Structure 1
Amino acid sequence: MNPILKFESLALDGIYRMSKIKWWLLEYDNEYKQVKVEESKRFMYFIDGNWVRLPDYFDSRTPEDKFLKLYEVLSEISNHHRNEDYFKNELAIYKKIHFNPKKVIEWFTKNEDLWLNQYFMLSIYWFGDEKDEMHCEINLHLNIKLANGKSVFVDRNDFINTIMFTHLCNTQYWNLLESSNVSELKELL
């Protein structure tokens, strides 16, 4: 069966579960590698004694292109999902220390790089730029935009700890920044 059609058949009421996405990625891993090798030969031209790769098109023009793009997007989603257990553990730690400002700063410092480098923008990418970010995250499924303009909706329950962790880090970041600025202003006065 066509990999894209197989993927589309995995949705339940238009919503995908991470278990199905991970299964699909494993099922089509070898095909992805083969197509990737073949597609890498496209746009290669021998010019003035050198092999030159010309830029790829922005649009997916062939079924192979569409498959590669879908696989890569789903792989990225799967990579973000790998930290779900870590986030669950960190949220439990935070719950125990949230009343102690010094420990909260230590907790945030420990998680800052992961949050900032990999998860900071996910709320905007997956839920849109909404004013009531947490309300949006609680009520919407993850909306993953594909290159062709279509969306893949992933069950938000599969990312509940990621959602809570990123929201908590976003909140802590702005709270710490605000308190830092207030302290600096007080020193100036």
Structure 2
Amino acid sequence: MPPLSKYVTAEDKFVDLYEQLDEVSRYHRFEPSCKEQLEIYALVKNDGLKLKEWFSTIESFYYEELIHFSVNYLDYLGNGKEYHLNVFSHFNKEMELFIDRDDFKNTISLSCILNAIISSAEFE
């Protein structure tokens, strides 16, 4: 049986790329709220009780959105491409599309902070 890629049309590739960019765009719309959460974090980070209260307000956002964002777009392979967000296309595997990490600086910062909080033994 020939590989599936033999039957992939230019339209399939376009639709796949469009869907991937649409998803990245959806994550980009989180930037303002992530910036706001970073500002709140700066105010509560030194108060354990307030920090836990703050975390409880965004915990579901972290687990429902930020983890997926990190896994899907941040490259941790050590291949020299870590700086930019990598948009993967299922039908255009030879294509490499990178988005400047600075465009998602608040989302990435908040994700890193929440990762550190969750992995912190003192937070448990």
TM tier, smaller: 0.7 to 0.9
Give 3-state SS (helix, strand or coil) of 1:120's partner.
Answer: helix
Root-mean-square deviation (Å)? 2.2
Q: Structure 2 unaligned runs (5+)?
A: none
Deviation at 1:63, TM superposition (A): 1.2
1:90 and 2:33 are equivalent in the alignment? no
Kindly tell me: are residues 129 and 80 of structure 1, through their superposed partners in 2, closer, same or farther at Cα, counting changes over 3 Å?
A: same
Kindly tell me: are residues 84 and 110 of structure 1, through their superposed partners in 2, closer, same or farther at Cα, counting changes over 3 Å?
A: same
Aligned counterparts, 1:128-167, within 5 A: 128-129=75-76, 140-147=83-90, 148-149=92-93, 150-167=95-112
State which structure, 1 or 2, has the greater radius of gyration over its C-alpha atoms. Answer: 1
The TM-score normalised by the length of structure 2 is: 0.83
Q: Retained in 1: the 8 A contact 2:84–2:101?
A: yes
**CA–CA separation in structure 1 for the residues paired with 2:68 and 2:30:** 16
Aligned to 2:53: 106
Aligned counterparts, 1:58-77, within 5 A: 59=5, 61-77=8-24
Identity %: 32
**CA–CA separation in structure 2 for the residues paired with 1:71 and 1:111:** 29
Using CA pairs under 8 Å that are at least 6 residues apart, name the structure with larger relative contact order, 1 or 2. Answer: 2
Deviation at 1:162, TM superposition (A): 0.4
Give 3-state SS (helix, strand or coil) of 1:99's partner.
Answer: coil
**CA–CA separation in structure 2 for the residues paired with 1:90 and 1:123:** 17
Q: Retained in 1: the 8 A contact 2:75–2:85?
A: no
Deviation at 1:160, TM superposition (A): 0.4
Counterpart amino acid of residue 170 in structure 1: N
Kindly tell me: are residues 180 and 127 of structure 1, through their superposed partners in 2, closer, same or farther at Cα, counting changes over 3 Å?
A: closer
Aligned to 1:170: 115
Q: Retained in 1: the 8 A contact 2:27–2:69?
A: no
Aligned to 1:185: none
Give 3-state SS (helix, strand or coil) of 1:146's partner.
Answer: coil
**CA–CA separation in structure 2 for the residues paired with 1:162 and 1:151:** 22
Runs of 4+ in 1 over 2 A off after TM superposition: 57-60, 121-125, 127-131, 178-181
The TM-score normalised by the length of structure 1 is: 0.56
Q: Structure 1 unaligned runs (5+)?
A: 1-56, 182-189
The structure whose residues are more often strand, as a share, is 1
**CA–CA separation in structure 2 for the residues paired with 1:94 and 1:157:** 20
Counterpart amino acid of residue 122 in structure 2: S
